[in-house]
Amino acid sequence: MPALEFDINKIKNDFPTLKQSINDNPLVYLDSAATTQKPQSVIDAINEFYTSQNANVHRGRHTLSEHATTLYEQARDKTADYFNVLSKEIVWTKGATEAINLVGNGLRSRFNKDDTIIISALEHHANIVPWQVLSQQTGAKLIALPVNDDGTLNIKQCSDFIKQNKPSLLTITQASNALGNITNLEPLIKAAKEINSLVLIDGAQGAMHLKPDLRELNCDFYVCSSHKMLGPTGLGVLYGRYEALNALDVYQTGGEMIDKVYLTHSTYRPAPAKFETGTPNIAGVLGFSAALDYLDTLHSSNIQQYENDLFTYAVEKLVSIDGITIYSNLSNNIGTLSFNFKDEHPYDLATLLDGYGIAVRAGHHCAQPLMTHLGLNGTLRASFCFYNTHKDVDIFINSLKECIDLLD
Amino acid sequence: MPALEFDINKIKNDFPTLKQSINDNPLVYLDSAATTQKPQSVIDAINEFYTSQNANVHRGRHTLSEHATTLYEQARDKTADYFNVLSKEIVWTKGATEAINLVGNGLRSRFNKDDTIIISALEHHANIVPWQVLSQQTGAKLIALPVNDDGTLNIKQCSDFIKQNKPSLLTITQASNALGNITNLEPLIKAAKEINSLVLIDGAQGAMHLKPDLRELNCDFYVCSSHKMLGPTGLGVLYGRYEALNALDVYQTGGEMIDKVYLTHSTYRPAPAKFETGTPNIAGVLGFSAALDYLDTLHSSNIQQYENDLFTYAVEKLVSIDGITIYSNLSNNIGTLSFNFKDEHPYDLATLLDGYGIAVRAGHHCAQPLMTHLGLNGTLRASFCFYNTHKDVDIFINSLKECIDLLD
Amino acid sequence: MTNTFKKVTESIDKASAWQQKYREIMLLGKTLPVLPDVLKTDDALVPGCESKVWMFVEFDLKENTLVVIGDSDTRIVKGLLAIILALYNGLTPEQVVNIDAYEEFDKLGLISHLSASRGNGIKAMVDKIQTMAQHKIS
Amino acid sequence: MTNTFKKVTESIDKASAWQQKYREIMLLGKTLPVLPDVLKTDDALVPGCESKVWMFVEFDLKENTLVVIGDSDTRIVKGLLAIILALYNGLTPEQVVNIDAYEEFDKLGLISHLSASRGNGIKAMVDKIQTMAQHKIS
Ligand SMILES: Cc1ncc(COP(=O)(O)O)c(C=O)c1O
Ligand SMILES: Cc1ncc(COP(=O)(O)O)c(C=O)c1O
C-alpha cells in the first residue's frame, strides 16, 4: 500500500467532542482506553437511523423493516471483513464483557473437574471473573500464566506453562488495558493449539489499534467492544470459529433465536442466530458500521504508525520529569502510559489535571490482580488514540508539571 | 389533574420518522408494538451525548466522566419515579428479553423439582423459552394458565389454577403483543401472593401505554424495553423489589459489578450494581431519560384516552369490511388489532399494504403457542400509538380495501 | 433467457403500476401446480421464512438438466417461485450458472424480493439452484 | 456556622484561582490528624471509592454532640474531610440537621465534589452524619 497522508488536523476535526473546553481549557482527552470519542459520521449514522430508518429488524414485511434489516446485516458483513472471517462467525453482544460471559456459559455443560482454564494476571476483570464463575460451577481448575515484574509475559516460560498444564481453554488479552502492553499472541496460541486447547482472545483494547487478522491469528474466539473502536455504546462483537461457535450451548433465550416454540419445549436456530435473542441494538450496529467505514478510510497501517510516533514522543517527555515511574512496556504498546509520581495518590493528580482540561484515569483500571502483582494501589493512566496530537502531549506534560508543583 | 390538551398535530410533528414517504405514499406506521418511533428530543439527547458528553461512566475522575455518570444515574432516578419504585430497584439490561433471562438465571440455584413455574399461553417467546430452560436445568415444573378461545384469560379460573398449583413463580404479560389484550393483573397477583409466589410481569407492551404503579401492583419483578417506549434500542429495564432483587444470583460478571477481585475469587457489590457489568449502553440510558421526559409532558391519562378513542375508531372501521376476522379483545386493549381477511395469508396483505406506505406486521408475532392455541398460522397486526392519527386509520382502511380487491 | 421465462414475465414487465405488477405475480402463482401434501415435508421447508416455502432442486441425469419444484402458502411468494422456475427449470448446469436471477429480478423491478433480509425463501432457492449447478459442473 | 468552620474555610473562600483552592484544601488535609492504623479497618472504609476513606460517626451521650472522625489516603479527599469535620464536629443533632453541607460546598465552589457520581466518600459521610442526627432527634 502506498504511504498515505495522515492529516491529523482533518482527523481531529472529525471528532466533535474534542472541540470543547473543560474548566476553561481546551479538552485534552487521554482516556480512550476507557472509551473512544466518535467521529461525526458515526453520530450521523445513528441520527439518520432514528430520524428516517427506525424499525425493528427481521421478520418485518414493510419497507422500513426490510431496509433496517439490510443495513443491520451489512454491518455484520463489514465486521467479518474487518477481521477477515465469515459473517456467520460474528455474533452481536452488548459488549466485550457479555461476549466473554456468553462463551463461558456456552462451555459450562462441557467442562468438569478434569478441565483446566488458563488466564493471565494481566487480565481485565471481564476476563477473570467469568472464569472464576465457570470454575466454581464445573470444578474446572483455573490457573494464571506467570507475569514478569514489569507486567509483561515471558513468552517462552508461558508456552511451557501451557504445554505442561494442558488447558481446555486459554483466554488472554491482546493488550493490557492497564498498561497498554501488547501480548505476543502467536507463540502462545501455537502452544495451545498443539495440545488442542480452545483459545479466546480479549480484543477490547486491541481491536482498533491492531486490527488483527483472526483467520491468521488462529484463535477460536475473539471479543471486542464497539465503544472502544469509535462506535456506539451498548454493542460488542463475539467472533467464533464457526464450528467452535455453533458448539456452544445457547445463552439468552427468547424471540428471534428460536426455530419452533411449543409450550413445553423449543428448538433453536444455528449460530449466529441462536445467540441473538430479543430486539438487538440496531442503532448501535449501524453506528458501528459507520465506525468501521471511518477506520477503513484511515488505513490501519497509517493509524499504527501515527500512534507509535505519538507514543514515543509522549514517553520521551514523561520520563524527563523527575520522580515519575512508568509501569507500561514502552517498546510494544498500543499507546497507554500507566505511571505514578513518587508516592502520590493518583486520585489527587487526576483531579488536578482535570482542572487543566486533561482527562486521564486514576485507579486500578479493573485489573486488581495485576495491581496487586505490581505492588500498586493504582496508577494514573493516559491512553492515546490517533485523534490525539503532539500538542495534546505538550499540554499534558506541562500541566502535569504544574500539578506536581501544586502538591508541594 | 385538569384535562390537558392533547395536540396530535404537534405531537406527530415531534416524530421525524413519521414525515417520510414510503413507495411514494406518506408513511402510516402501524408497527409500534414491534418498536416505537422516537421523538426529536430523544434523538437530540443521543446526539448531544456523542457530540459533547461522551465518556465512560463511574470511576472516572475527569469532568466528562463525572458529568456522564450524573446524567446516567439521574436516568435511573427518573425510571424509578415513572414506576413509583426506588432507584436501587432499577437494573439496566439490554432489553426486556435479557431482563427475563437475568431473573431466570438468578433463581436457578434456588429452584428444584418441587418448584412450579406458571406462565400463560399468551406469552411472547421471551417469557416462555427462558422458563423452559430453567425448568430443564432445575427439574422445576412448567405449566401454563388456561387461555380462552379468544385469547383472553378467565380470571376466576386462573386464580383458582394458581392457588391449586402453588407456583414458586408466576410470570405473565401485562398485555399480549400479538393481540393487545390487557391482562387483569391485580387478582392474579393477589392469588399468587396468597401462596407466597414470586411474580414477574412482562411489561414490554404495557410500560408505555399503561404506566403502571409497580409499588401498588405488588409484583416482585417487572421488565420492559426502552425501544418500545420511545427510547433507543439496546436498553431494557428490570425492576425488582429490593429484597427479591438482591436475593438473585449474579448473572454476567466482570468489571463494575465487583467489589474485590483476586485471581482465585471475587466479591460482588449489592444490587443493582451486581447485575450491571461492563460498560453500559450510556447513550441508550440518556436517550431513554429523554423519552421519559417526553412521556411526562404528555401525561399518561391523556395518552390513554387518546389511544382508546383511536382504537375504537379503528375497530369500527375494520369490522365494517366484509370477511375480516379480528382476534383481539376489543374492550380492553392497548391499541393492537390482530386480524385476518378470509383465509388469505397475512404475508400477502402485508406486502401489498406496504405498497401503500402502510407498515403492519404479518406472522406469529413471537407467540407461536398462542397462534397454535387459536388455530392460526399467523395474523396481520396493526399496532397503534398516540402519534397515530385518525387520518392514519382512514388511509389504512382504504388501502386495505384496495389490497383486498387486488387479491381477487 | 428461455422463451418460457420471457412469456411468463412479459405481463409483469409491461405492468406500469405496482398494483398491476403484484396482480400479475399472483396470477402467475396460480398457474403453478399445487405440490401434493406428501411432498410438503419439513425437510423440504425453507427454514426461517414467515410464509411456508417448500422447495426441491434435483438433477435429471439423463437430460443433464436441473429440475426445480416449489410451492408456497402465500400468493406472492408462489408467484415469485413461478418466475424462478421459469428462469431455471430444464436448463443444463452450464446454462444455469450463466443466468443471474438478481439481474433478471432487477429488470422486473422485483429486486427487493431477493434481498437477504426478506425471509421469503426466494433467495435461498436461487442460492441452492446455483450451488447445485456449480457442483455438477466441477 | 461554627467559628472553626469559618476559620478553616476562610482561605478557600478567598482563593481566586482554582489551583489556589486546591492548594488550600490540601493544606487543610495536612492539619487533620492521621488515623491510627488500628482504626483503619475494612468496616470503617467507605465502600466503592477509588481512594481509601475511613470514617466514624459517633454520638457523645454526655455532651449530646456528634463526633466525626475520618482519614483518607489522598490529599484532596482528606482536605474535603477536614471541611466536613469543621462543619459538623461537636454540634448537637439539632444543630447538625440545620446545616446543609451542599449549600456550604456550593458557596465554596466545591459542589462537584459532593455529587453522587463522585465516588470520593464525602457525600456518603454527609449522608451518614445527617442520618445519625435525625435518628437522635426522633
Ligand atoms: C410482550 C413482550 N415481551 C417481551 C418482548 C421482548 O422485548 P425485546 O425484544 O425488546 O427484548 C416483546 C417484544 O416484542 C414483547 O412484546
Ligand atoms: C481488556 C479489556 N477487556 C474487557 C473490557 C470490557 O469491555 P466492556 O466494558 O466494553 O464490556 C475492557 C474494557 O475496559 C478491557 O479494557
**DSSP for B240-270, written as a single string:** E-HHHHHTSPP-S-SSSSEEEE-SS-EEEPP
Lowest mean pLDDT of A261-265, B15-19, B95-99, name the range. A261-265
CATH number for the domain running over A44-296: 3.40.640.10
* pLDDT surpasses 70 at B4: no
Output the pLDDT for position D80: 94
Q: State how far the Cα of B70 lies from the Cα of B61, in Å rounded to an integer.
A: 12
B and C make contact (3+ CB pairs below 8 Å) = yes
The model's pTM: 0.96
Contact A97 B255 (CB under 8 A): yes
For chain B, the structural domain boundaries read: 8-30+299-406, 44-296
Is it the case that residue B391 has pLDDT exceeding 80? yes
Q: Which partners does chain A have (≥3 C-beta pairs < 8 Å)?
A: B, C, D
pLDDT above 50 (res A2): no
Which of A351, A377, A402 is the closest to D76 by Cβ? A351
Query: What SS3 state is found at D27?
Result: helix
Per-residue model confidence (pLDDT) at position C117? 67
- In chain A, the percentage of residues whose pLDDT exceeds 70 is 99
pLDDT (mean) for B389-407: 97
Q: Nearest C-alpha of chain A: how many angstroms from D75?
A: 6
Does residue B142 carry a pLDDT above 80?
yes
pLDDT for A352 beyond 90? yes
Closest atom, ligand 2, to C-alpha of A94: 11
From the list B209, B204, B134, the residue with the least C-alpha distance to B367 is B204
pLDDT, greater one: D7 or A348: A348
CB nearest to B66's CB, from D48, D50, D115? D115
B240-268 pLDDT tens trace: 999 999 999 999 999 989 988 998 899 99
Whose alpha carbon is nearest atom 15 of ligand 1?
Answer: B204
Indicate the DSSP class of residue A131: H
At D19, list the grid cell.
489551583
- Spatial neighbors of A212 by CB under 8 A, at least 6 apart, are A83, A174, A201, A203, A206, A222
User: Using an 8 Å Cβ cutoff, are A16 and A41 in contact?
Assistant: no
Report the pocket of ligand 1 as residue ranges, CB < 6 Å.
A 255, 278-279; B 95-97, 124, 126-127, 173, 177, 202, 204-205, 225, 366
Residue A119 in this model has a pLDDT that exceeds 90:
yes
Answer with the residue of higher pLDDT: B100 or C33. B100
pLDDT band with cut points at 50, 70 and 90 for residue B1: very low
**Which residues have CB under 8 Å from B120's CB, separation 6+?**
B144, B145, B147, B153, B158, B172, B173
Of the candidates A140, A149, A196, A205, the one whose C-alpha atom is nearest the C-alpha of residue A176 is A205
Distance D44 CA to ligand 2 centre (A): 31
**Distinct helix (H) and strand (E) counts, chain A:** 15, 17
Neighbours of C37 (CB within 10 A): 7
- What CATH number was assigned to the domain covering residues A8-30+299-406? 3.90.1150.10
Note the pLDDT tens digit of each residue in A161-195.
999 999 999 999 999 999 999 999 999 999 999 99
DSSP, res A125: G
CA gap A320, A315 in Å, rounded: 9
Cα separation of B333 and B313, whole Å? Answer: 13
pLDDT value, residue A1: 44
Residues of C in contact with A73 (CB under 8 A): 116-117
Residue of B59, B65, B279 with the most ligand 2 atoms within 8 Å of its CB, for mutation: B279
Percentage with pLDDT > 70 across chain B? 99
Cβ pair A291, A226 in contact under 8 A: yes
Indicate the number of domains in chain D.
1
pLDDT, mean of residues B54-76: 90
The DSSP code for B4 is P
- Structural domain harbouring D27: 3-137
Q: So what's the pLDDT on residue B2?
A: 46
Of residues C48, C50, C118, nearest to A66 (C-beta): C118
pLDDT reported for residue A406: 95
Instruction: State the greatest distance between any 2 C-alpha atoms of chain C, in Å, as a whole number.
Output: 43
Contact flag A269-C118 (C-beta cutoff 8 Å): no
What gap in Å lies between CA D91 and CA B38, rounded to an integer?
A: 53
List CB contacts of B140: < 8 A, sequence separation 6 or more.
B111, B112, B113, B114, B115, B116, B117, B134, B168
Q: How confident is the model at residue A4 (pLDDT cuts 50, 70, 90)?
A: low
ipTM of the assembly?
0.95
Residue C130 pLDDT: 94
Show the low-confidence residues of chain C (pLDDT under 50).
none
Task: Supply the CATH number for residue D69's domain.
Answer: 3.90.1010.10
What is the predicted pLDDT for the residue at C49? Answer: 74
Which residues, 6 or more positions from A221, have their beta carbon under 8 angstroms from its beta carbon? A99, A103, A198, A199, A200, A201, A238, A239, A240, A241, A244, A245
Strand locations in B211-328, DSSP E? 221-225, 236-240, 258-261, 266-268, 324-326
Band (B3; pLDDT cuts 50, 70, 90): low
What backbone torsions phi and psi does residue A218 show, to the nearest 5 degrees? 70, 30
> Quick check: A139 and A362 in contact, CB under 8 A?
no
Does residue B208 register a pLDDT over 70?
yes
